[in-house]
Every structure is written in C-alpha cells, then in structure tokens.
Amino acid sequence: MTGVLERFRVDGRVAVVTGSGQGIGRAIAWALADAGADVVLNARRIGDLEVTAAGVEERGRRALVVAGDIRDFSDALADRALDEFGRIDIWVNNVGGSDEKDVRLLVDTPDEVFRSQVELNLTSAFQGCRAAANRMPDGGAIVNITSGAGTRGSPYTGPYAAAKAGLINLTQTLALELAERGIRVNSVSPGPVITEAYRAVLGIEDRLDELVRTIPLGRAGTPDDIATMVLFLCSPAAGWITGEHHLVAGGRTQRSYQYRPKETPQ
C-alpha cells in the first residue's frame, strides 16, 4: 500500500515551466525537481535559466533550457521537450506580469498596451495549454498562474486584471473539455510575493509595510509558498481536483491595498 506522502511525488514525469528564470517560476521548477520530475525551462534571459537549471540538476533531475519569448513560442517549446525527453506530463503557464513599468487608469490605456497585456497574460497561456493538451498523455496536469486581480475590479491595473480574469475562465473551460482524458487544469493566484518583477513594475519599496498590513497572516508571500501549491496540483495527491481557482495569499481575499502610478519627480 502506497503511503500518502508518496502521492505528492511526480517521479519520472516531465514538466514544462514557462517564466522559470527567476522568482515564482524558478521555485516551481525546483519544487517539481525535488519531487522527481525532469524540467523544461523557459524564459527570455539565458543567464537566469542557467541558474534555475543548475538547481534542477543539483536535485538529481535533468533540465532542458529553451530561451525565448513565450508569445507564439509554445508549440516550438513543446516540440523541444518531446525531442529531449519523449513526453510532457505537466505544463505550468507561469509567464505573466507586465512589460510596462508603471500603472494607469484603464481609460488612459493605449490600445497597444492593452493588447500587449492580453497577449502576455492570456494568449500565451492559451497557446501553452493547447500545446500541452495536444501532446501530453491522458492523466496529465496543467496549472495556470493567474491573479486575484482577475476576480474583482482592479483600478490602475485594468488590462492585467482583465487578462487574468480571462485566464481563470479559460482554466475552467479547459478543465471541462479535457476531463474525459483525465487531464486536470487548475489555476493558482499568488497574493503579494515580492519578487524582482513585482518590485520593478509596481514600485512599492517604500510602501511594503503598508502592503503587509493588508495580509491577515502578517507577511508577504515567498516563491516557495506558491510552488508548493503548484506541486500539489500537479501531483497524484490532487487527482480529484480540476477546474478550480486557488488563491494563495496569506488570508487576503479582498484587494484592500491600492496600487497607484509612481510619482513623477518635480
């Protein structure tokens, strides 16, 4: 009889993790490797990916580095994974965020910025889900990294929130469509995890204490807080969970902290 902890293992499986050059994506890759998976890594910066790959290999698993902008790249990434490892069992769409370095009112948002946000946070994830589902065996697992911003109004980050709302719905739809194949599709929404990318876009360094006061558990999240949830959803332990949106946010269910545009020096 298999012990319950063994159900959290993913030995022998192959996982693709996009946006795995640093932060949450790197933590997810390392968690999956800790649990026995070989990992295909993708991000734009090769140096970051090499650090993540070294961590995967230190955990006794194989790593494949495939650098490139994930937009319109998922099929090529999936084919590289198949060429190297012969299978794909897990796909984590972690790429997201913003190429913009400030936030603004939705009515002040140029079309090209809105389109860019949708392409980065929704379209690329759709392409990843499609690439994965068309190649993985029955019983695989897909996890989309979404955001609590997609579950409610989100002043000043409207395009991002709209794209993440779409991703939550896409997750639920794919879960129903793929259930007959036993492919489970879930989403994870991180609360405030103060990564490099989070700092760069939202510029909240001088307001971290204010932000933390909105979190009932009294601290910001860590990449490992998110990675452990993703590992659970990819493992046999979550074998009866699909189509669910999981908020991992230290108890913060409402967005009581308001992001605002950075002040322009006079």
Backbone angles phi, psi at 151, to 5 degrees: -105, 0
The helix/strand/coil state of 158 is: helix
Active site residue 259: no
Backbone angles phi, psi at 184, to 5 degrees: -95, 135
Give the list of residues 6+ apart from residue 175 with CB closer than 8 angstroms, or none. Answer: 184, 185, 186, 242, 243, 244
Contact call for residues 125 and 144 (beta carbons, < 8 A): yes
Contact call for residues 54 and 30 (beta carbons, < 8 A): no
With 0-12 CB in 10 A as exposed, 13-18 as middle and 19+ as buried, what is 197?
A: middle
Tokens of 153: 């109004």
Residue closest to 167 by CA, chosen among 60, 245, 253, 105: 245
User: Of residues 160, 198, 257, 259, which has the active-site annotation?
Assistant: 160
Cα angle vertex 72, ends 91, 187, to 5°?
35
Residues designated catalytic:
160
